[in-house]
Chain A
Amino acid sequence: MNAAVQFDTLPERAETQRGLVAVAMSGGVDSSAVAALLQRQGRTVVGLTMQLWNQRRLPELQGHGPAQHRCCSLDDVYDAKAVAQHLNFPHYVVNFEEQFEARVVRPFVDQYLAGRTPIACTNCNTDVKFEPLLRMARQIGAERLATGHYARIRRNNDTGRWELLRARDDSKDQSYFLWGLSQEQLSRSDFPLGELTKEEVRALARRANLPVAEKPESMELCFVPTGNYVQFIQAYSRESGISLQKGEGEIVDETGDVIGRHNGVHNFTIGQRKGLGFATGKPVYVLSIDPENNRVVVGEDNVLRKTTCEVEGVNWISCHTPSAALRAFAKIRHKHEAAPATIEPLDNNTARVTFDTPQRAITPGQATVFYDRDVVLGGGWIR
């Protein structure tokens, strides 16, 4: 990408900048700033806020007092509406509760119950935001869907492919959650914040006098109001009649010796140290989860480090499935520092990732995302 890209111009998209653009608005500062930014560029903006989850469901998770600052809480919807009214463009709330439950919430719960540690945000991006929402944006006449993601999209003129890149602001980069997007999805998406830092976005929101300019960031999973996902999984399973039949089980060491008891595999994630419920001389961590036998295997830190993993559901973005192994930097969770690795495609959907040095807590259900410097080559789900 041209390094001289200006703060609020997206030159390589000039040809598509004339039509209507839909902005996915959560009611937060980032997506609100996107709307303000695009409007300042002279684009005709329409705001869409997804209704994804009925916060009145699972009343046992409600605690006391009204729902505050959660995704899909009425407060957030009203915030998005207030921004649209302030900037004077049409805004609609669109109902994707069914799709969200089927494609995000249910798989999230199923994965946890299968001893994996899923990433709901990736499913939401690939299967909700950039699927039915993008489709609806196009159906109502928008050329593309702009979101508040911190990442960049560009078209590679040599290959003709749309590429996904890390955000300029590495501390805010969200490319890790976007590796599942297809060429079609990328070609119709705009990430106007990819060139900005969070501070610049706040400043922009303040300059535009957006009512949400000072709104705090949300960190929790949007549909888990308390942030306590274990509680959520139990409540959702009860409501949906998913049996948690294998409740209690054994905690074993690497040799298979039983050294404790656990209260359900969905309480654990690889690398977890806290909450094992017993004390040993040396610190121990969850090494693996065996839902078949309802066992949690623990061991010392050095055993937690592994060199290889296999990934499935692989999506290649910058190229077709490579014919040979390639070198890349691979990231195994959002906050992991990408490490040098060799990626060996096994077939169209799977690949083997071999790191140069052992990596701590490679966790099934999370994704490995392959980078070439700033460019996301692709990614896949860790088996």
Chain B
Amino acid sequence: MNRVYLDFNATTPVEPEVLDAMLPYFSKEFGNAASIHTPGQRSRGAVETAREQVAALIGARPQEIVFTSGGTESDNHAIFGVVAQPILAVRASETAKHIITTAIEHEAVLNACQALEKEGARVTYLPTDREGLIDLDDLRRAINAETVLITIMHANNELGTVQSLAEVGRIAKEADVYFHTDAVQSAGKIPVDVNAMGLDLLSISGHKLYAPKGVGALYVRGGTRLRQFLYGGHHQRGFRPGTENVAGIVGLGKAAEIARKSLAEDSQGVSALRDRLQQGLLGNVPQSRVNAGAAPRTPNTTNLVFPGIEGEALLIALDLKGLACSTGAACSSGAVEPSHVLTAIGLPPEEARASLRFSLGRHTTNADIDFALNVVPAAVAQLRELSPTYRKEAVL
């Protein structure tokens, strides 16, 4: 079966060049990067090269990059690291620490914040408008003397909406509050600069930018006071103990380098294809609309609502025809749960359930888009044919 993958926000394939760069570090160059001897030094050299490559992608200094197991660990380390120090429990005499985040964050941030809330921290979840953008005045108003951390994602995974982090960074700086961003969906897709954005902490995931799964990075601005998250040996200056995943780190470095060099070109090509897909779907699926289409978005993402259908059924129907895309977020059983992001931007539940995300990749072709434009309108029509709600809506 012809299979077309339009779910690159979920994950990306390892780029062949990236794989080539990694391969020596599985068996031939297997040294522990913490070892003193020559094999160890060779691995160390590879890790440090990767650190430079990742730093270059986001305008950081190499020593500010910590390699982790992925985006979730990076987010957790940043949030717990700032808020949970020096101890978790808030003594009665102390005022609760305050975090500001948004209602549309990834679960890695939301659930970390909720865990801290249970420990006594206070959390403000900034609302967004229908485009998924926060109001900077809301942010200013939310800051108080107890605020220790602002964590606001750069690009949203479901909508592609990009927040203006530079302005958030200025507000955070004025208020002297640490500023973290989950850049998992933006790094490699759009320019990211930790200095221009006034960031203290930033999370990256390898497998979203053509590196393997199981590796990520956390940028920590020099001088940031962050509580240790894992305890162990002295790897990565003791900041993130655990034997370094050398091959994975090398892959992340290589992928970061490729992304930095090809970002502008990729972005142009991909956004042209994305726009073609979006226009084609809007033109061929009656009543369809783009969610957050007016916001600045990552070039590869579009999220559409097809009123009168269940996104879950459409996703399955399309998968059976060979097209992979996504709806909402999967829970532990694999069932689709209503998207908190779509609900947060004000979609009624039935429209949130009727929404589908298409996310393109660096190697998506015109033929892939043709395929999608061929199967999606037909599948939506078939679903609507059997929908108990669609006809009624059409009459209204």
Look across to chain A and name the residue whose beta carbon is closest to the beta carbon of B330. A93
Query: How far is A81 from B319 in the complex, measured between Cα atoms in Å?
Result: 16
Whether A95 contacts B317 in the complex (CB less than 8 A), given A138-B386, A139-B386, comes out as no
Interface centre among B314, B319, B333, B383 (most CB of A within 10 A): B333
Scan A77-110; emit 1 where CB is below 8 A from any B CB, else 0.
Answer: 1000100000000101111010000000000000
Residues in B with CB closer than 8 Å to A141 are 317, 320-321, 382
Scan B277-314; emit 1 where CB is below 8 A from any A CB, else 0.
Answer: 00000000000000000000000000000000110111
**Interface status of A165 (Cβ within 8 A of chain B):** no
Is there an interface contact between A92 and B386, defined as CB atoms closer than 8 Å? Answer: no
Query: How far is A49 from B309 in the complex, measured between Cα atoms in Å?
Result: 19
Is there an interface contact between A135 and B388, defined as CB atoms closer than 8 Å? Answer: yes
Scan residues 21-64 of chain A and give those whose CB is less than 8 A from a CB of chain B: 46, 49, 51
Is there an interface contact between A51 and B335, defined as CB atoms closer than 8 Å? Answer: yes
Residues in A with CB closer than 8 Å to B317 are 139-141
Is there an interface contact between A94 and B320, defined as CB atoms closer than 8 Å? Answer: no
**Interface status of B90 (Cβ within 8 A of chain A):** no
Q: Indicate which residue in A95, A135, A139, A140 contacts B335 across the interface (CB closer than 8 Å).
A: A95
Query: How far is A139 from B317 in the complex, measured between Cα atoms in Å?
Result: 7
Residues in A with CB closer than 8 Å to B388 are 135
**Interface status of A303 (Cβ within 8 A of chain B):** no
Look across to chain B and name the residue whose beta carbon is closest to the beta carbon of A142. B320
Residues in A with CB closer than 8 Å to B336 are 94-95
B212 to nearest A CB, angstroms? 23
Is there an interface contact between A95 and B386, defined as CB atoms closer than 8 Å? Answer: no
Query: How far is A44 from B310 in the complex, measured between Cα atoms in Å?
Result: 23
How many residues of A are counted as interface, with CB atoms below 8 angstroms from the partner's CB atoms?
20
Is there an interface contact between A74 and B386, defined as CB atoms closer than 8 Å? Answer: no
Is there an interface contact between B386 and A94, defined as CB atoms closer than 8 Å? Answer: no
Residues in B with CB closer than 8 Å to A95 are 312, 331, 335-337
Classify the secondary structure of B's interface with A. mixed
Scan A241-265; emit 1 where CB is below 8 A from any B CB, else 0.
Answer: 0000000000000000000000000
**Interface status of B332 (Cβ within 8 A of chain A):** yes
**Interface status of B89 (Cβ within 8 A of chain A):** no
Look across to chain B and name the residue whose beta carbon is closest to the beta carbon of A73. B333
Q: Indicate which residue in B312, B333, B383, B386 contacts A77 across the interface (CB closer than 8 Å).
A: B333
**Interface status of B232 (Cβ within 8 A of chain A):** no
**Interface status of B88 (Cβ within 8 A of chain A):** no
Is there an interface contact between B320 and A140, defined as CB atoms closer than 8 Å? Answer: yes
Scan residues 329-355 of chain B and give those whose CB is less than 8 A from a CB of chain A: 331-337
Look across to chain B and name the residue whose beta carbon is closest to the beta carbon of A48. B316
Interface size on B, as a range, is 20 to 34
Residues in A with CB closer than 8 Å to B335 are 51, 93-95, 97
Is there an interface contact between A139 and B320, defined as CB atoms closer than 8 Å? Answer: no
Residues in B with CB closer than 8 Å to A93 are 333-335
Query: How far is A81 from B332 in the complex, measured between Cα atoms in Å?
Result: 13
Q: Indicate which residue in A74, A90, A136, A138 contacts B333 across the interface (CB closer than 8 Å).
A: A74
Is there an interface contact between A140 and B333, defined as CB atoms closer than 8 Å? Answer: no
**Interface status of A10 (Cβ within 8 A of chain B):** no
Residues in B with CB closer than 8 Å to A121 are none
Is there an interface contact between A74 and B312, defined as CB atoms closer than 8 Å? Answer: no
**Interface status of A20 (Cβ within 8 A of chain B):** yes
Residues in A with CB closer than 8 Å to B321 are 141
Is there an interface contact between B320 and A77, defined as CB atoms closer than 8 Å? Answer: no
Whether A20 contacts B333 in the complex (CB less than 8 A), given A135-B386, A139-B383, A141-B382, comes out as no
A58 to nearest B CB, angstroms? 18
Is there an interface contact between A136 and B313, defined as CB atoms closer than 8 Å? Answer: yes
Residues in A with CB closer than 8 Å to B309 are 139
B210 to nearest A CB, angstroms? 27
Query: How far is A51 from B332 in the complex, measured between Cα atoms in Å?
Result: 11
Query: How far is A81 from B335 in the complex, measured between Cα atoms in Å?
Result: 12
Look across to chain A and name the residue whose beta carbon is closest to the beta carbon of B315. A92
Residues in B with CB closer than 8 Å to A51 are 331, 333, 335
Residues in B with CB closer than 8 Å to A81 are 334
Is there an interface contact between A20 and B310, defined as CB atoms closer than 8 Å? Answer: no
Residues in B with CB closer than 8 Å to A135 are 386, 388
Is there an interface contact between A20 and B320, defined as CB atoms closer than 8 Å? Answer: yes
Residues in A with CB closer than 8 Å to B333 are 49, 51, 72, 74, 77, 93
Query: How far is A72 from B333 in the complex, measured between Cα atoms in Å?
Result: 8
Whether A77 contacts B334 in the complex (CB less than 8 A), given A90-B320, A139-B383, comes out as yes
Whether A46 contacts B320 in the complex (CB less than 8 A), given A77-B334, A94-B312, A136-B310, comes out as yes
Residues in B with CB closer than 8 Å to A74 are 332-333
Residues in B with CB closer than 8 Å to A138 are 386
Whether A140 contacts B313 in the complex (CB less than 8 A), given A46-B320, A90-B319, A135-B388, comes out as yes
Known: A51-B333, A136-B313. 11 other contacts (CB 8 A): A46-B316, A51-B335, A90-B319, A92-B316, A93-B333, A94-B312, A94-B335, A95-B336, A136-B310, A139-B382, A140-B317
15 residue pairs from A and B, CB less than 8 Å apart? A51-B335, A74-B333, A77-B333, A90-B320, A92-B316, A95-B336, A136-B310, A136-B313, A138-B386, A139-B313, A139-B387, A140-B313, A140-B317, A141-B320, A141-B321
| Chain A residues packing against B (C-beta within 8 Å) | 20, 46, 49, 51, 72, 74, 77, 81, 90, 92-95, 97, 135-136, 138-141
Sort A-B residue pairs by CB-CB distance and give the 4 closest, nearest first: A51-B335, A95-B335, A93-B334, A93-B335
